[in-house]
Amino acid sequence: MRAKTAVVLGAQWGDEGKGKIVDVLSERFSAVARYAGGHNAGHTVIIGEHKFVLQLIPCGVLRPGCKGVIGNGVVLDPIAFLSEVGRIRELGVAVDGNLFVSNRAQVILPYHRMIELAAESAPGRKKIGTTSRGIGPAYEDKMARSGLRVVDLLHTELLKTHIEAACAEKNAIAHALFGTDPLDPEKMYEEYAAAAEKVRPFVADTSRLLNGILASGGSLMFEGAQGTMLDIDHGTYPFVTSSSATAGGAATGTGVGPTAIGTVISVTKAYVTRVGGGPFPTEIHDNAGDLLRQRGNEYGAVTGRPRRCGWLDIPLLRYSNQVNGAEWLVVTKLDVLDELEEIPICIGYEIDGKVTDEIPADVHGLEAIKPRYTTLKGWRQSTEGVTEFDKLPKAAQEYLAFQERESGAKIGMVSTGPDRGQTIVLPKFAAELDDITS
């Protein structure tokens, strides 16, 4: 019998529209658990006239009866978390008793932001294009076994001792390397001790909670952050995030065993985008890129930064499906392509004169890629809001069929607009979801 769980993640560099997809699917699940990243990830959900931009809180909390869980693989900024809780409370979302934070999650503190901002701005340093929110340095401290966990945040004496020791070390490092002014440990302690008391009601052993839901016959969705090509191991290193964004991170980042993963649902745009630095083989450098950016509103949900736009990259999508074991694809923003007469799709690479469809592991190889394209006919009519596959233009159906055939995963859903209702759910996918969640 298939496990009653599903992982939903991004197939490329994030911003694929996972927030809407998790929201649409979450009505079927008992809980949605976020397993990686921090408040650098923005998931936008539009429900009627309301727009929700969630950075830490799983999208499941927007569904009555669905619990939201922030897993141990997430790094938590307590101040950002409480601010987000306040915003969605004001919009009428019932968070109390429905939202839980792992007691084993790592905590982001101001010195993490100080170090990251100084390092990213330092002359001669390779700029990764981070959000400078302290995510990377918090994960560095986690791996160095010198981090502060949520369970420690709640013990005032331990918190005070930790902040004093960490500030002594981080202030010295930041001043020596970057000339940064020191942070005040006493002021930091007072702010975070007060925040800890407000975070306390949300804290739980979330591994126990999630496994208990499964044991009682409930179903779980694991919500990914960023995208596969930003994964610390499998992405375009070093232009990656600091956590495991791929499907494997769902187990390590929540404390639910890998044998409990039922299916993996990979979300891809009908084209590709990327924010920040790093290689992007199919990036568009002409007016077509501006058109996609304008029609797709391609600006970061958290930072507002314009996203780089590119054509669909089949070798990259195939690689993503491989490392995630993706069984299903969800294609978003199909309607953004409505005005194009022809649509290029990358079907292979040329690297240093050799034809390949293998993703290079090194930056040089990635930057040396010359994409090899085929061109499909556009449909030049609106697909916005279409909810039945058979009512899509024939050329749009052929575009999706090509993507499915070449990527190695089955298309289960197609998004034709930002609202919940602007979604096509294919029958075989609906049947599988029924099987998982019933």
Is residue 95 within 8 A of residue 130, CB to CB? The reply is: no
Specify the pLDDT at position 1: 64
Contacts of 353 (CB under 8 A, 6+ apart): none
pLDDT under 50 in the chain at which residues? none
Q: CA-based Rg of the chain, rounded to a whole angstrom? A: 22
Which is the catalytic residue, given 39, 43, 162, 234?
Answer: 43
- List the structure tokens of 148: 């502060």
Specify the pLDDT at position 128: 57
Query: d(Cα 388, Cα 401) in Å, to the nearest integer?
Result: 15
Is residue 212 within 8 A of residue 255, CB to CB? The reply is: no
- List the structure tokens of 91: 């919009």
Within a 13 Å sphere around the CA of 204, how many CA atoms are in the beta-carbon half? Answer: 21
Place of tokens 């601010």: 83
Q: Which 3-state string (H, E, C) describes the chain?
A: CCCCEEEEEECCCCCCCHHHHHHHHHCCCCEEEECCECCCCCEEEEECCEEEEECCCCHHHHCCCCEEEECCCEEECHHHHHHHHHHHHHCCCCCCCCEEEECCCEECCHHHHHHHHHHHHCCCCCCCCCCCCCHHHHHHHHHCCCCCEHHHHCCHHHHHHHHHHHHHHHHHHHHHHHCCCCCCHHHHHHHHHHHHHHHHHHEECHHHHHHHHHHCCCCEEEECCCCHHHCCCCCCCCCCCCCCCCCHHHHHCCCCCHHHCCEEEEEEECCEEECCCCCCCCECCCHHHHHHHHHCCCECCCCCCECEEECCEHHHHHHHHHHHCCCEEEEECHHHHCCCCEEEEEEEEEECCEEECCCCCCHHHHHCCEEEEEEEECCCCCCCCCCCHHHCCHHHHHHHHHHHHHHCCEEEEEECCCECCCEEECHHHHHHHHHHHC
Active site residue 43: yes
Closest CA to 392 of 431, 424, 427: 424
Burial of residue 222, with CB atoms counted within 10 A of its CB: 0-12 exposed, 13-18 middle, 19 or more buried = buried
- List the structure tokens of 418: 């930002």
Specify the pLDDT at position 118: 76
Specify the pLDDT at position 32: 96
Query: d(Cα 107, Cα 113) in Å, to the nearest integer?
Result: 12
| 191-232 per-position pLDDT tens digit | 999 999 999 999 999 999 999 999 999 999 999 999 999 999
